[in-house]
């Protein structure tokens, strides 16, 4: 079939925690690289801090990481919150959602190629957002407006539907990291000048063109650490 499958697991902790028992979240993900150039992500995300959030994400991007389609389903505190289906072309983004708070929602947004991807609050999906940065311009800051997300809540616990944010990506350069999943050559990014009061967020993704999420730190009142603890590749 000529497909490549990547699988991974990310754990999150309050910064300073030292034991696996102290973890506050987990994401298990699988990415399939298809022969037609699309790559599909399936992620299950648990946030265990109160109120707990369980998020299931399916999304795909093309060879240039432009969003193609997606699905999100959210459960908050053990109760269904909502689900949404998404479709993207080069010029239009569409959403059909059903949520407890908003009911049935249909949305369309005009877009263009080169948008900062589609944010679904999956950590691996965050890694894909870095593909929107033009690395040929080197270290610096690049601004992105009207970014589409499933939720503007910091924990992704509202919606899901289309919501918009403004933010900038700052590129700090290349670094080599050692995490439980192994040694990785990484690009270091941070999200800066963000709307909706999002805390400082630094992220490291692989330099191999796959933008695999390796590590992140979140600032604010309750600083957190995220790192890749399992990673595998399978070629079919």
Per-residue model confidence as pLDDT tens digits over 52-96: 999 999 999 999 999 999 999 999 999 999 999 999 999 999 999
pLDDT tens column, 126-151: 999 999 999 999 999 999 988 999 99
Cα-Cα-Cα-Cα dihedral sign, residues 47, 77, 101, 28: positive
Q: Name the more confident of 32 and 21.
A: 32
pLDDT of residue 193: 80
Lowest mean pLDDT across 10-19, 108-117, 144-153, 184-193: 10-19
- HSE, side-chain direction, 13 A CA sphere, residue 3: 12
Q: Are 81 and 100 in contact (CB under 8 A)?
A: yes
pLDDT band at 19; cut points 50, 70, 90: low
pLDDT of residue 21: 64
What domains does the chain contain, in order, with CATH numbers?
4-235 (2.50.20)
Alpha-carbon distance values, 47 to 103, 113, 155, 223 (Å): 24, 32, 8, 14
φ/ψ of residue 80, rounded to 5: -55, 130
The rounded percent of the chain whose pLDDT value lies above 90 is: 81
Q: Are 99 and 159 in contact (CB under 8 A)?
A: yes
Q: Are 171 and 140 in contact (CB under 8 A)?
A: yes
């Amino acid at each position: 079939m000529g497909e490549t499958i990547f699988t991974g697991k990310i754990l999150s902790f309050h910064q300073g925690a030292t034991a696996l028992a102290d973890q506050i979240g987990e994401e298990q993900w699988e990415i399939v690289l298809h022969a037609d150039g699309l790559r599909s992500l399936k992620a299950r995300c648990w946030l265990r801090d109160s109120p707990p959030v369980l998020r299931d994400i399916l999304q795909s991007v093309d060879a240039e990481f432009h969003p193609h389609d997606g699905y999100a389903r959210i459960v908050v505190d053990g109760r269904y919150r909502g689900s949404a289906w998404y479709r993207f072309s080069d010029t239009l983004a569409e959403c059909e959602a059903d949520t407890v708070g908003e009911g049935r929602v249909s949305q369309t947004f005009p877009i263009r190629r080169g948008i900062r991807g589609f944010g679904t609050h999956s950590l691996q999906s965050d890694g894909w957002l870095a593909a929107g940065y033009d690395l040929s311009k080197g270290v610096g800051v690049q601004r992105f407006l009207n970014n589409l997300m499933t939720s503007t809540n910091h924990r992704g616990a509202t919606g899901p539907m289309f919501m918009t944010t403004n933010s900038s990506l700052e590129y700090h350069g290349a670094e080599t990291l050692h995490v439980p999943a192994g040694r990785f050559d990484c690009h270091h990014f941070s999200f800066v000048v963000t709307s909706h009061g999002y805390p400082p967020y630094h992220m490291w993704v692989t330099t191999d063109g796959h933008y695999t999420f390796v590590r992140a730190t979140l600032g604010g009142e309750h600083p957190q650490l995220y790192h890749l603890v399992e990673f595998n590749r399978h070629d079919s």
